[in-house]
Chain A
Amino acid sequence: MMSPILDINDLYLSFSTEEGELEAINGLNLEVEQGKIHGLIGETGCGKSVTGRTVLGLFDSNTMIKGGEILYNGDDLLSKTQHELQRDYRGNEIAMIFQDPGSSLNPVFKIEDQLDEVLRIYQPGKKAERRKKMIAALNAVKLPDPERLLKKYPHQLSGGMKQRVMIALNLACQPSLLIADEPTTALDVSIQAQFINVLKELQKEIDITILYITHDMAVVSEICDQVSVMYAGRIVEDVSMEDLFNKPVHPYSKLLVSSVLGPETNIDNLVEISGSVPRLINPPPGCRFHPRCEHMKPECKEEPPVLKEVAPGHQVACFKEDLS
């Protein structure tokens, strides 16, 4: 087995809040294979975005790292300074597209200026060359009429266009790993499909690894190779996309998959029926899912279960007897 490009081990992260310590990430283990599109799914508030931001070291000021390591090609990112992260990793190794495309572009600069800024850093060359690359970058994300688009300001573009510009902007850094945090949530359904196709094609072409954070089971089935199911700050199952839908093992994954048959594919609407995510200030002890779990046993309240391999490339964290 190839060594993973991203390997997060036993990550613990809390936020200090007025009500106390909020344990957002609680013993998270996540391995992302080189060249894959790896889905990270879970209900709202389970810590997906925090995980993505933490990889890049983009912490909110009230963040406390409690333990663990984030290995990128073997180097622990948590031991780097902000300056080292900026110089050696952000952009050139790892890039990130954030949840809100509308506000991710600087409103006072033209698309041209924002693209050129990145090109000057990561693909230096003559002005004319850079210009060609800009056009190519916008063509690559299937944006029509790139010449005109370059002259525009972000507020003159639609949500879908902005999100594609964000992709172009991030790929212009030539990273090896792209973290995409719910890039389609703010888009119309029809545009979502287009966007996902563009991303899928690009991923094959330039052989980039993508950590794809999403709420949406339909998107998972369309784009992901491997999927990590997250619950309240922990990965509860790590499984190939096919197996997730065909034979999910963890009770929470089963809940997600069993209710995905109808037209509704947004996880948040699926799981509402069976209670909601626990509060992360004083969370339930042991398996954090136990208040909602019908297989709950006494030991589930004691210790949190760790990920165990149930089949090659398939790990589950649960105390249930028959893990299948």
Chain B
Amino acid sequence: MNKKFLLNRFGRTLLTLVGVSIIAFMILHLAPGDPARIMLGQFATEENIEIFREQHHLNEPLPVQYGAWITGVMQGNFGYSIRYNRPVHELIWTRMWPTLTLTVSALVLAVILGFTLGILAAIKRNSWLDYITTIQAMFWISIPAFWLGILFLYFFGLRLRWFPIGGMAGLASLVLPVFALGLREEAWFARPMRSEMLEVLNQAYIRSARARGIKERVIITKHALRNALIPLVTMIALRLPWIIGGSVVIEVVFAWGGMGSLLVNSVLARDFPVVQAILLLISFAVVMANLFADLLYSVIDPRIRLED
């Protein structure tokens, strides 16, 4: 791979990260009013507020405060949660795994289901399967995430009693939130996969492979799919922020004790150190996913893989 391309790409990633961290930091100061008062609440004494200020460097100029904060962050120190009175990194560490389980499972479900439906719809164009793929995709996309979650809870949890209604008790409680999150995303993969496949199947190299007597199954799963996947890799990275956003909502609906519900609770409790840390982590994940997609893109498309 080309060094200049790599350097350029890494440089941009770094800049984005700096920008993102500044925004996460500024959240505290953009909220109207005195940050110390916001965090401690209206009944705090002047004295306590002054102590709090000293502790959190709130009397220093902003760049100095940012410097102190980001230095801590880089050492894994995100400060103290005001609400839980515990180090933020401990809180996040325990909340990260449920969120990862939820989002990764949903993504895997979305990719497998979306790609399969998209490919089948392309091969059987204008069949009932094609129409169903389109209709179900529109259906999932047009329902808000929280509403879909509530519907699932009502039907499969309350009515049919197939799955627990929220909480994190084993694999069974994972099913509904994963489907509520994953089906929406599946819709975003099925349609592009279908149109990519259709386009690729019309290419001259597919016809010429057919003329060589290569089996149709191999034409689809190897010759066509490999080409159709190239743009879809980027698609996955582009959907990542939405999956994370969706997971915040779904976590709240299903009482899933991950970072999403922690984020919402912390916002409500004005627990700014936690909010800052989670925003920073989520942005970090999205930025890194984009970087990864770019690198992967150049691995799976030989035309981009520049000679050294």
Contact of A103 among B204, B214, B301 (CB under 8 A): B204
| CB proximity of B285 to chain A, nearest CB, Å | 29
Contact of B207 among A83, A98, A153 (CB under 8 A): A98
Distance between Cα atoms of A314 and B98 in the complex (Å): 81
Is A232 in contact with chain B by the CB < 8 A criterion?
no
A98 touches B213 (CB 8 A): no
* Pairwise interchain contact A91-B212, C-beta atoms closer than 8 A: yes
Q: Per a CB cutoff under 8 Å, which of A96, A105, A107, A121 touches B211?
A: A96
Residues of chain B within 8 A of A56, CB atoms compared: 210-211
Question: Within the complex, what minimum Cβ distance (angstroms) separates B17 from chain A?
Answer: 32
Chain B residues within an 8 Å CB radius of A121: 213-214
The distance from the CB of B115 to the nearest CB of chain A, in whole angstroms, is 17
Q: Which of B208, B214, B303 contacts A107 (CB under 8 A)?
A: B303
Q: When the two chains form their complex, are residues B303 and A153 in contact, meaning their CB atoms are under 8 A apart?
A: yes
Chain A's nearest CB lies how many Å from the CB of B124?
13
Q: How many residues of A contact B (CB 8 A)?
A: 34
A108 to B226, CA, bound (A): 7
Contact (A104, B302) CB under 8 Å given A86-B215, A91-B214: no
Q: Is the CB of B226 within 8 A of A90?
A: no
Contacts A98-B204, A103-B205; is A118 near B212 (CB within 8 Å)? Answer: yes
Smallest CB gap from A104: residue in B: B208
Complex CA distance for A169 and B213, rounded to whole angstroms: 12
Among candidates B215, B216, B227, B300, residue contacting A106 with C-beta atoms closer than 8 Å: B227
Tell me the complex Cα distance, A58–B223, Å: 17
Residues of B within 8 A of A166 (CB): 208
Q: Bound complex: CA of A56 vs CA of B207, how far in Å?
A: 11
Complex CA–CA separation, A108 to B227 (angstroms)? 7
- 0/1 per residue, A136-161, Cβ < 8 Å to B? 00000000000000000101000000
Judge whether A91 and B213 touch: CB under 8 Å.
yes
Chain A residues, CB < 8 A from B207: 53, 58, 98
Bound together, the chains give a CA A103 to CA B212 distance in angstroms of 15
Inter-chain CA distance A110–B303, complex, in Å, is 11
B138 within 8 A of A: no
Is residue B203 contacting chain A, with contact meaning CB distance below 8 A?
Answer: yes
Q: For residue A224, which residues in chain B have a CB less than 8 angstroms away from its CB?
A: none
A224 to chain B, nearest CB (A): 22
| Bound Cα distance from A83 to B171, whole angstroms | 44
B93 to chain A, nearest CB (A): 41
Tell me the complex Cα distance, A104–B205, Å. 4
A262 → B minimal CB distance (Å): 33
- 1/0 per residue A108-122: CB within 8 Å of B? 111000000110011
Asked if A173 meets B212 with Cβ closer than 8 Å, knowing A98-B204, A105-B205, A107-B302, the reply is yes
In Å, the complex CA distance between A97 and B205 comes to 11
Whether, in the assembled complex, B209 has its beta carbon less than 8 Å from a beta carbon of chain A, the answer is yes
CA distance A266 to B227 in the complex (A): 36
CA distance A83 to B214 in the complex (A): 10
- Which A residues lie within 8 Å of B214 (CB)? 86, 91, 117-118, 121
| A170 & B204 in contact (Cβ 8 Å cutoff) | no
How far does the Cβ of A110 sit from chain B's closest Cβ, in whole Å? 8
Given contacts A103-B204, A104-B204, A107-B302, A58 and B213 within 8 Å (CB-CB) = no
Across the interface, do A155 and B302 meet the contact criterion of CB distance under 8 Å? yes
Closest beta carbon of chain B to A93's beta carbon, Å: 9
Question: Is A9 on the interface with B (CB-CB < 8 A)?
Answer: no
From B204, B205, B210, B230, contact of A90 by CB (8 A): B210
Q: Are A87 and B213 closer than 8 Å at their CB atoms?
A: yes
CB distance from A72 to the nearest CB of B (A): 14
Q: Can you offer 28 A-B residue contacts whose CB atoms are under 8 A?
A: A82-B216, A83-B216, A86-B215, A86-B216, A89-B213, A90-B212, A91-B211, A91-B213, A91-B214, A97-B208, A98-B204, A98-B207, A103-B204, A106-B205, A106-B209, A106-B223, A107-B205, A107-B303, A108-B226, A108-B300, A108-B302, A110-B302, A117-B214, A153-B303, A155-B303, A170-B211, A170-B212, A173-B212
**B residues within 8 Å of A by Cβ?**
203-205, 207-216, 223, 226-227, 230, 300-303
